Amino acid sequence: MSTPPRSSPLALTVLALLHFQPLHPYGIQRLIKQWGKDQVVNVGQRASLYRTIDRLLATGLVTVRETGRDQQYPERTVYELTDAGRSTMSVWLKEMLAAPKQEFPQFPAALSFVLMLAPEEALDVLEQRAATLAQTLEAHDKSLAEQTEVHGLPRVTTLEEEYLRAVTAAELDWIRAVTDDLSSGRLSWSVDELTGIAQSTGRQALTDQTSSEPQHDPR
């Protein structure tokens, strides 16, 4: 077997679903949606699922169990987990749970340059985000209630949605605090003043770079 591929949420999901039973790609995609895992795993394009399965197959973490033939459907390959896949899944799962990973979501990146907007512009867009987060929070509450009270699912099957709800609630609380400060004037800035600071530090960075460059002998 070649070196196993790097862990990813989608690869872990494929291995985990195959742990329960052999499946073809369509069945994997259907279970991801039925079990609500599409909230935490990006499987919007089926091609990405097939590429992931191909990598797992090439490295011996999954194997072909059978190729099904049915007049109503095209030929479907059914995959199953190997012993190596089961072992790798356990290692990946423990690592992902235990070690926070440095990620770079777009919202903090955008926040780092919110100073390029006027305070009233920042207030407007952050209020829009707060409204969306409030809707998302309501959707999480509804989904959690349905899964536990209607479908009778145990709590362990909804921990990822509990986490997403907690993160959403925390972000919403923080944004509401920021928008309150913007509305009251406790948080304010001048775009022109900050532009001047940025230009000044940019010139200093160029000066520092020039002075640190090695001097070449012109001969």
Give the percent of the chain with pLDDT over 90: 66
Give, in order, the Cα–Cα distances in Å from 134 to each of 21, 139, 159, 170: 38, 9, 20, 11
Token pair in block for residue 150: 């209607």
Domain residues of the chain, as ranges?
Answer: 9-98, 106-212
pLDDT greater than 70 at residue 162: yes
The three-class DSSP label of residue 76 is strand
List of residues 6+ apart from 28 with CB closer than 8 A: 13, 14, 17, 18, 49, 53
Question: What pLDDT, in 10s, does the model give residues 27-55?
Answer: 999 999 888 888 899 887 788 999 999 99
Q: With 70 as the cut, is the pLDDT of residue 203 above it?
A: no
Question: Average pLDDT in the 141-160 region?
Answer: 91
d(CA 117, CA 191): 7
pLDDT confidence band for 195 (50 / 70 / 90): confident
3-class DSSP state of 195: helix
- The pTM of the full predicted model, rounded to 2 decimals, is 0.82
Place of tokens 């012993």: 83
Measure the CA angle with vertex 20, ends 87 and 73; round to 5°.
Answer: 120
User: Into which CATH architecture does domain 9-98 fall?
Assistant: Orthogonal Bundle (1.10)
pLDDT digits 0-9 by tens, 99-140:
998 888 999 999 999 988 999 999 999 999 999 999 999 999
- Provide the residue count of the chain: 219
Q: Which tokens hold the place of 17?
A: 């679903």
Mean pLDDT of 85-100: 95
Higher pLDDT, 117 or 206: 117
